Amino acid sequence: MNNTFLGASVQPVNIPLGPVLTIAGFVLCLAVTKDKRQFLWWLFPANSESRKICCRLGTRVRPGGSRQAWDWLSRLSLLASLMFLPLSLLWQNAANAARELVIQRLIFVGNACENEEQRLLEKVHAEEERAHQSILTQRVHWTEALQKLAALRTYLVDMITNLDDQGLVRAEQEIFERTEVAEGILEPQESPKLNFNQTCVQSPLLHRLWASAVLCCSQEIHIDEKTVSPHLSLLEDKKTLTFSPKKAKVDLDCPERFDHWPNALATAAFRSGVCAWKISVEKSCAYKLGVCYSSLPRKGSGNEARLGFNAASWVFSRYDKEFRFLHAGHPQAVELIKSPAEIGVLVDFAGGEVLFYDPDSGTILFSHRETFREPLYPVFAVAHQSISLVQ
| Mean pLDDT, all residues of the chain | 80
Q: What is the pLDDT of residue 336?
A: 94
Q: What is the mean pLDDT of residues 184-212?
A: 74
Q: In degrees to the nearest 10, what's the CA dihedral of 117, 120, 122, 126?
A: -160
**Which is higher by pLDDT, 199 or 86?**
199
278 falls in which pLDDT band (50, 70, 90)?
very high
pTM of the predicted model, to two decimals?
A: 0.62
Q: Reply yes or no on whether the pLDDT at 18 is more than 60.
A: no
Q: Which residues pair with 333 in a beta bridge?
A: 324
48-52, 113-117, 326-330 — most confident range: 326-330
pLDDT cut 70: percent of the chain above it: 74
329 falls in which pLDDT band (50, 70, 90)? very high
Alpha-carbon dihedral angle through residues 132, 136, 139, 141, given to the nearest 10 degrees = -120
pLDDT score of 51? 45
**What is the model's pLDDT at position 205?**
83
- Residues 209-264 have pLDDT tens digits of 888 888 888 889 999 999 999 999 999 999 999 999 999 888 878 999 999 999 99
The 3-state DSSP class for residue 372 equals coil
pLDDT at 330: 96
The percent of residues in the chain predicted with pLDDT above 90, rounded, is 41
Please give the residue that has the higher pLDDT: either 60 or 189: 189
Distances (CA, A) of 112 to 102, 103, 106, 107, 310: 15, 14, 10, 9, 41
